[in-house]
Amino acid sequence: MTAEDVSLVPVTEWASLVPELMVSDLARSLDVYTRLFGFTLNYTRPGFAYLSLGRVQWMLEQAGPDGGWRTGPLKAPYGRGINFQILAPDLDILHARLVDAAYPLFRPLESATYAEGDTLHTQRQFLVQDPDGYLLRFTD
């Protein structure tokens, strides 16, 4: 392992689905995801980072001129048409940290009820966009 390949917190169990998001500025995204959103940096190598938050696993890749696995042009905001629901280990602490940092909320903290057949589920949630516009819905 070189100085550029850093394993900070080993992943003990790999998730079955791990989104990999292309980002315009990996350093800026890593700052927001770790400092504000509370993710742990598990592994990094040039142009790539593997993160986790509780049982959520997440990858960020620096968008480059070669296009990587892009299916079309990247235009801000990225990720149009998708939101990622993320169970936050402590929603109140996360929300307070974002408010204290004056990080813009896409939707305020609220309680929402969703039907699953005849069963209603209520959760608290708020939505933010990451630096590239990906929509994240943090819930409890």
- 33 within domain boundaries: yes
User: Residue 6 — pLDDT band, cuts 50, 70, 90?
Assistant: low
Tens digit of each residue's pLDDT (9 = 90 or more) over 16-66: 999 999 999 999 999 999 999 999 999 999 999 999 999 999 999 999 887
Q: How many domains does the chain have?
A: 1
Tens digit of each residue's pLDDT (9 = 90 or more) over 77-134: 999 999 999 999 999 999 999 999 999 999 999 999 999 999 999 999 999 999 999 9
Cα–Cα distances in angstroms (integers) from residue 38 to residues 30, 45, 56, 57, 64, in the given order: 10, 20, 12, 12, 26
Q: Pull the structure tokens for residue 136.
A: 């994240």
Q: How far apart are CA 69 and CA 11, in angstroms?
A: 24
The pLDDT value given to residue 4:
57
- 57 within domain boundaries: yes
- Give the residue, 98 or 74, on which the prediction is more confident: 98
The pLDDT value given to residue 66:
77
Neighbours of 101 (CB within 10 A): 11
- 1 within domain boundaries: no
- 60 within domain boundaries: yes
* Per-residue exposure over 24-34, b if at least 16 CB sit within 10 Å of its own CB, e if not: eebeebbebbb
CATH number for the domain that contains residue 23: 3.10.180.10
Q: Could you tell me the residue range of the domain that residue 101 belongs to?
A: 6-64+81-139
Q: Is the pLDDT of residue 15 over 60?
A: yes
Which residues contact residue 122 at a Cβ distance below 8 angstroms, ignoring those fewer than 6 apart? 111, 112, 113, 114
